[in-house]
A and B are shown apart, each in its own frame.
Chain A
Amino acid sequence: MDIIVCIKQVPGSTDIKIDPATNTLIRDSADAVINPFDAHAVEAGVALKEQYGGSVKVLSMGPPQASEAIKQAISVGVDEGFLISDKEFAGADTLATSYTLSAAVRKMASYDLIICGKQTLDGDTGQVGPEMANHLGIPCTTFIRKIVEVKDGFMKAERLIEEGYEIVEFPLPAVISVVKELNEPRMPSIRGLMAAKKAEVPVWTAQDIEADKERIGLSGSPTWVVKTFTPVREKNNVIFEGEPEKQVSDLVARLRDEGIV
């Protein structure tokens, strides 16, 4: 079974804080990590390869330093990775990003399964996986929490929904997006770390993946960001005082007065 895992390098989540004095975004460091949901996608890919044989590759789109994220994936058992990186890709929304990834997937040899995390920590859209499946003309199921089995060219899996889960079956090749409940990502092995150190990560440009220039980056993005701002939240910020009994009765009184309980 040949697997492609799509990963994104994101700013480490703890980097993102609001400076209360200036109400702007501040960062502790410039650390970047594999998007946490994508780490579960990588684990799923490696585990499937261990069970069914074949290969597992990662694909990432991002700046040159995103090759670090690919090396992290190699350190936990991924065979090889490819980075698509080009100034032309900047400003891509989910449509342009999913198109770009699908162009790179077409360039890679045949595959049976593409695994994505359910969404990224920075963009939070969860749209790239399903949109990519559409560009490739293959089925997509989202929010996979358990892979039951792969047999005769079909995958059976459990899909998380609000009320519980669905059991679905679909033919491969397909795209799945996974939730963290699926597995526990492993730590790198010594051998994995060595392999990551030695690994060369090929970098593909827009030309390399034969992408249509009108469908990538800003030109290929129907949506534009017209404004960004830090949310202003009005908080009462009342800390009650006194004995616990008094604090509790003050709280209940406030909630009653506001008609909440």
Chain B
Amino acid sequence: MGIKITKKCIGCGVCVDVCPYSAIMIIEGMAVVEGHCTLCGACAEACLEQAIIIDRPAVKPVAEQDKDQWRGVWVFVETHGTDTSPVSYELLGEGRKLADRLKTDLSAIVLGDGSYKTDDLFARGADKVYSAAHPYLADLDTEICSLALLECINRYKPEIVLAGATSFGRTVMPKVAATLETGLTADCTGLDIDKEKGLLLQTRPTFGGNLMATIVCPDRRPQMATVRPHVFKQPEINGSSQGEKIDVQLAGNLTSRISLLDRVVELVAGEKLEDADIIVAGGRGLGSTEGFEHVKELARLLKGAVGASRAVVDEGWVPYSHQVGQTGKTVCPKLYIACGISGAIQHLAGMQTSDRIVAINRDPDAPIFDVADYGIVGDVKEVLPLLISSLKKEFGQA
């Protein structure tokens, strides 16, 4: 068990360069692995000589599971009253492709008080909808939802369970996975099916998006993943779709040790960074809270959300809920306009996967231009008013 360097090693040092943990040295022309290696496999992947072998012991399945008993792809739909979280639709679109590749069914699993209309889920690609309705499920309590999802999984045995990587999904899914003693891959940005074994290939960014890892869960079921919102496109609505609805009667004890006393909405609609198609973000280059008003105006004009660098959040120009970056939110909108943001690596980590990036900055050498599709070198305080009036003309508002 562990990592082995074979005699094929030529001491080229490629592995030393790629090791994210600085755990390899070249000693007398051979790679030597230090004790703090995490067996992440970056070196084995990079080694041109195929001299690095990572031995994997067989993981003992929890029980002698007949894998064929576990069939179908499930999307755990996140509802808010009668609304559906956009990421759930995105997952139905992606789940459809996975189910087709596996020649199996795509099911949506819905927990709630029964007020949610499930017809829409068929139109988005689901073959089946499992609906567990109970008054206690109305509040989206994470403990009760974990118990309910666990019961449904144990009863119907899906081979794959996907959920949005939201504050809800990232709390419920680990509780369920730990109880099932199965694998859970966090915050995936790519999903596929391995052709040979039919395993779910789960690709996710690590190190703030600078390294991608593809992860499998070969021996235990279900294979579980949370998926980052806004990565996949929402499927087209197919109006004629129909499917099978299964009303699940929950038998288990639905109690929570956590009492929800209140839920306070701070952001008005359209301000939510994670759901925005367009984000206009401001940095220190704007000079002041007054300068930041241009960012807000442009965001309003584009019907987008307002983002900010850590520097201006620390200055108190906008609340933390707007912070984009490694210690803030990770976003990937269709358009990200970085205004007066130099692009520290921690900021880039939170936005570099955006579809299109526009950078406006005075310093032509600012790192933000390295990730930008379009750049304007100039004083953001001068450029933004021009951009706003130009767009107003474009929209016929001038």
A interface, CB within 8 angstroms of B: 11, 13-14, 16-20, 22, 24-27, 30, 36-37, 62-65, 87, 90-91, 93-95, 98, 121-127, 129-131, 133-135, 139-143, 156, 159-171, 174, 180-181, 214, 217-231, 233, 235-240, 244-245, 247-249, 251-252, 254-256, 258, 260-261
Q: Is B334 an interface residue (CB 8 A)?
A: yes
**Known contacts A65-B36, A228-B45: does B261 contact A94 (CB below 8 Å)?**
no
* List of B residues within 8 angstroms of A170 by Cβ: 257-259
Contact between B376 and A143, CB atoms less than 8 A apart:
no
Contact between A237 and B372, CB atoms less than 8 A apart:
yes
Q: Is B9 an interface residue (CB 8 A)?
A: no
Contact between A224 and B174, CB atoms less than 8 A apart:
no
Distance between Cα atoms of A171 and B257 in the complex (Å):
7
Output the nearest chain A residue to B314 by Cβ-Cβ distance: A184
* List of B residues within 8 angstroms of A121 by Cβ: 207-208, 326
**Known contacts A94-B186, A229-B45, A251-B387: does B261 contact A236 (CB below 8 Å)?**
no
Q: Is B205 an interface residue (CB 8 A)?
A: yes
Contact between A237 and B258, CB atoms less than 8 A apart:
no
Distance between Cα atoms of A36 and B349 in the complex (Å):
15
Stretch of B95-103, B175-183, B288-296 lying at the A interface? B175-183
* List of B residues within 8 angstroms of A219 by Cβ: 1, 57, 59-60
Output the nearest chain B residue to A27 by Cβ-Cβ distance: B22
Partner of B335, one of A11, A125, A141, A255: A255
Q: Is B21 an interface residue (CB 8 A)?
A: yes
B143 to chain A, nearest CB (A): 7
Contact between A240 and B374, CB atoms less than 8 A apart:
yes
Distance between Cα atoms of A17 and B18 in the complex (Å):
11
The residues in B between 17 and 38 inclusive whose CB is less than 8 angstroms from any CB of A are: 17-22, 34-38
Partner of B272, one of A163, A238, A247, A254: A163
For the complex of A and B, list the 9 residue pairs with the smallest distance between their C-beta atoms, beginning with the closest: A63-B36, A164-B266, A223-B183, A91-B39, A222-B183, A134-B178, A125-B186, A130-B174, A131-B178
Contact between B390 and A37, CB atoms less than 8 A apart:
no
* List of A residues within 8 angstroms of B261 by Cβ: 156, 166-169
Distance between Cα atoms of A197 and B288 in the complex (Å):
43
A9 to chain B, nearest CB (A): 9
Output the nearest chain A residue to B46 by Cβ-Cβ distance: A24
A164 to chain B, nearest CB (A): 4
B362 to chain A, nearest CB (A): 11
Contact between A94 and B259, CB atoms less than 8 A apart:
no
- 16 A–B contacts, CB within 8 A, in A order: A11-B22, A17-B345, A25-B42, A25-B211, A95-B181, A127-B184, A134-B174, A159-B167, A167-B264, A223-B215, A225-B213, A237-B372, A240-B375, A240-B376, A260-B335, A261-B335
B278 to chain A, nearest CB (A): 8
Interface mask (B256-276 → A, CB under 8 Å = 1, otherwise 0): 011111111111000010110
* List of A residues within 8 angstroms of B369 by Cβ: 237, 239
Contact between B178 and A224, CB atoms less than 8 A apart:
no
* List of A residues within 8 angstroms of B219 by Cβ: 222
Contact between A122 and B263, CB atoms less than 8 A apart:
no
Q: Is B246 an interface residue (CB 8 A)?
A: no
Partner of A163, one of B142, B267, B370: B267
B interface, CB within 8 angstroms of A: 1-2, 14, 17-22, 34-42, 45-46, 56-57, 59-60, 142-143, 166-168, 170-171, 173-175, 177-179, 181-187, 201, 204-220, 257-267, 272, 274-275, 278, 302, 320-321, 326-327, 334-335, 345-346, 349, 352-353, 356-358, 364, 369-378, 382-383, 386-387, 390-391, 394
**Known contacts A94-B184, A126-B186, A169-B261: does B217 contact A238 (CB below 8 Å)?**
no
B55 to chain A, nearest CB (A): 8
Partner of B390, one of A63, A87, A227, A252: A252
**Known contacts A139-B257, A139-B258, A261-B302: does B378 contact A25 (CB below 8 Å)?**
no
Contact between A230 and B59, CB atoms less than 8 A apart:
no
Output the nearest chain A residue to B1 by Cβ-Cβ distance: A218
Distance between Cα atoms of A174 and B258 in the complex (Å):
10
**Known contacts A37-B327, A228-B40: does B175 contact A130 (CB below 8 Å)?**
yes
* List of A residues within 8 angstroms of B349 by Cβ: 13
A239 to chain B, nearest CB (A): 4
**Known contacts A160-B167, A258-B356: does B378 contact A247 (CB below 8 Å)?**
yes
Contact between A143 and B167, CB atoms less than 8 A apart:
yes
Partner of A13, one of B208, B275, B374: B208
Output the nearest chain A residue to B39 by Cβ-Cβ distance: A91
Output the nearest chain A residue to B219 by Cβ-Cβ distance: A222
Distance between Cα atoms of A8 and B178 in the complex (Å):
20
Distance between Cα atoms of A95 and B327 in the complex (Å):
24
